[in-house]
Amino acid sequence: MQKLFSPWRSKYIESFSKPPDGDGCVFCVAAASSDDEQHLVVARGKTCFVIMNLFPYNSGHAMVVPFRHTGEFLELTDEESLEIMQFLRKLVLALRGSSKPDGFNIGSNLGRSAGAGIDQHIHFHIVPRWNGDTNFMPILADTKMISEDMKELYLKLRDSLAK
C-alpha cells in the first residue's frame, strides 16, 4: 500500500484548534461577529451561514455551518437541514456563474476520525473542481495552488447569494 502525506493539512487543522481570540469555537466566533468580511462570512440565513474556507483545497472552497453549536449530524433539525441544503444549491449556482468549475465535492466529515478538523461544530464543505486541478505542487513543494484571489471571490459569492 502506498501512502500519500499531506503536511499542509496539519496547518489547516492547527489553525482551527484555537480561534483568533484564544477561546471558543471559530465558527461561533464568526457567527457572533458583525464583521462578515473579516471572517469571510458570505451569507447568513435563519439557521445557518456560509463561510469561505481560510485554507481552501481549491478556489471557492466554502462551508455551510449551522449557527447552533453541535458536532452531531443527527441533532440537526429539519429546518437546519433544509437550509443547509438550500445554501449548498445556491453555492453551486453561484460558483458555476463565477468560477465555471467542471464539478464539485460536497460533504461533511463527521468526527475527527473521519477527517474533521473541527469536529465539535458540524459544517458542510463545497469544493469546486476542475479537470486537471490536482498536481504535484502540494507533494513536492508543500504548496497548494489557488487560482483565484480569495477576497475577489468572496465578494462575487456574497453578491450572488444576496440576490
**For residue 35, pLDDT beyond 90:** yes
Average pLDDT of the residues in 13-39: 76
Based on the structure, what is the number of domains in the chain? 1
What is the span of the domain harbouring residue 146? 7-162
- Residue 1 located in a structural domain: no
Q: DSSP label at 35?
A: -
Residues with a catalytic annotation lie at 123
Average pLDDT of the residues in 3-20: 52
Could you tell me what percent of the chain has a pLDDT over 90? 53
Q: pTM of the prediction? A: 0.79
Pair type for strands 48-52 and 103-107? unpaired
Domain containing residue 59: CATH number? 3.30.428.10
- Residue 73 located in a structural domain: yes
Gap between the Cα atoms of 163 and 40, Å rounded: 18
**For residue 106, pLDDT beyond 60:** yes
